Amino acid sequence: MKLLLPSFISAAIDDDGFLFRGLHWLEGDEDVLLVLWKMWVEVRRAVVAPVLRFVTFSCMIMSVMLVLEFVWMGAVSLGVKLLRRRPEKRYKWEVFKEQDEDVELGTLVYPMVLVQIPMFNEKEVYKLSIGAACGLEWPPDRIIIQVLDDSTDPIIKALVELECKAWASKGRNINYEVRNNRKGYKAGALREGMGYSYVNQCDFVAIFDADFQPDPNFLLRAMPFLVNNPKIALVQARWDFVNIDECLMTRIQKMSLDYHFKVEQEAGSSAFAFFGFNGTAGIWRIAAINEVGGWKDRTTVEDMDLAVRASLKGWEFLYVGDLKVKSELPCNFKTYRHQQHRWTCGPANLFRKMAKDIVKAKEVSLWKKFYMVYSFFFVRKIISPIVTFFLYSVVIPASVMVPEVSIPTWVVVYIPTTISLLNAIRNPRSIHLMPLWILFENVMSMHRMKSMMIGLFEVGSVNEWVVTEKLGDALNANPEIHLLEKPPNKFRERLNFSELGFAVFLLFAASYDLAFGLNLYCIYIFLQAIAFLVVGFGMVGKHVSNS
């Protein structure tokens, strides 16, 4: 049965008839298909195209904001390197020397330091972290080790307590502290830890997560900055990683974290004396913590919360890039995804809670306020996940099916190339992994955008806290449980349905562009679809069996 074309869509045949001509091999239903196609054309022109144009224009603006942020931060960090503005040159730094001529002083020249190690069921790494803390080169009578154990496994708690007793028998001033609940998670543990009477002896507190292993000279190198510069509240060290080559996912993580430390933290420290505390591998002045109200558990980034509040009181922070502390990267994808949810959701939620406080603060300059609100929070924590996901995984694939919308070449090619190159120059040894880094980061941007929205609008799993699983020496000690780049045995356990669902959309868009498009976007879209499929089928990272 032949159908007549409605008059209101007949005018569109010349512009979009190419697709219908592509279906000439169908017989009998040509008119039905053509009618459906013309109806889609009208809806596309009246509704889809205007919406996509608006989203595209918004992404273009956000892309410019993002690339300018990358260029500016990169220029600042590069300037610091070229001018050799080492922290020791910008701030007073002197080696501690015991006063041998004055017997009464002796080791009193060294300030009292509290070392906190918060942990939760850390069976694989508790010995490493406690041993590293107890091995710090500092007078034994001037340091207190505090293990804050929130473990729920009684066996692990017994092991940790036994380890603390073993070090106490060797003369270390170590205290094993537990709570009867996990209220506030890490922030709650740190807050309660600061309430013990013996903490009143201390002027500074060094914090190390359970998988962090500081070198013996850590305090000797970091403490002079705090002792000789009373305005500094925090000295942050750089993270180093013991399992970079564990799998491809850990190598990609290192590339992202290298940019964070080498560029973002360095630039923030050098230009504004402000950056987000990384939650570990840092030393705080206890007076600064007390002045701003101590640890708060209102978000999942208690470290950043404390840093922002301290900065608004006029305290300065210092990042020491050549002071490194060993740690572990998550090598399981779902563990990594939980970590990224916390790292993305928390800052967005904190921005929601503190934006007004930053604007109203009286003890910081207008320039610093602008940096904190616009650069630190808005561009990096809000804009970045939005534009990365929508532009590269939604707008570009959707545009191939909506010819009324065109994306300028500078948005599709020049801006991502610039951002990639700025990252690549910080990772010259990993430059061959840049294409994989881009594809993987685009996959993760879907989760980061969702987490950012949850935090910004304070809904759903905004306060979700899943402790990052650590393996420590387990894989080296038991190589038989090593399943290199292989997923769990149960097929359902390995599936990530959100990635698989999005891969279907990308495959359709790439196939459409290959068959009927006028550009070569299909090459990129097919590659991105493969990346979503690889992650969707659980073929990324490692899995360690429970047996």
Q: CA 216, CA 218: separation in Å to the nearest integer?
A: 6
SS3 318: strand
Query: What are the residues whose beta carbons fall under 8 Å from the beta carbon of 224, sequence distance 6 or more?
Result: 92, 93, 94, 95, 96
How close are the terminal C-alpha atoms of the chain, in Å?
A: 65
Q: CA 328, CA 351: separation in Å to the nearest integer?
A: 28
Tokens 């020049």 correspond to what residue? 414
Distances 416 to 42, 421, 443, 512, 521 between C-alpha atoms, Å:
33, 9, 15, 24, 14
Of the residues 215, 303, 305, 513, only one is catalytic, namely 303
Of the residues 150, 209, 211, 305, only one is catalytic, namely 150
Closest by CA to 176, choosing from 191, 195, 201, 158, is 158
| Number of CB atoms found within 10 A of residue 20's CB | 15
Residues 147, 167 contacting (CB under 8 angstroms):
no
Respond yes or no: is residue 150 known to be catalytic.
Answer: yes
Beta strand 232-241 pairing with 282-285:
antiparallel
**Helical H segments across 296-433, by residue range:** 302-312, 333-360, 366-370, 384-389, 396-399, 409, 415-424
Residues 370, 427 contacting (CB under 8 angstroms):
no
Residues 400, 513 contacting (CB under 8 angstroms):
yes
Q: What six digits make up the tokens of 398?
A: 């959707």
Distances 430 to 137, 200, 248, 335 between C-alpha atoms, Å:
35, 47, 11, 23
Write out the DSSP string of 476-492: HH-GGGEETT---SSHH
Closest by CA to 233, choosing from 311, 305, 293, is 311
The residues that are catalytic are 150, 303
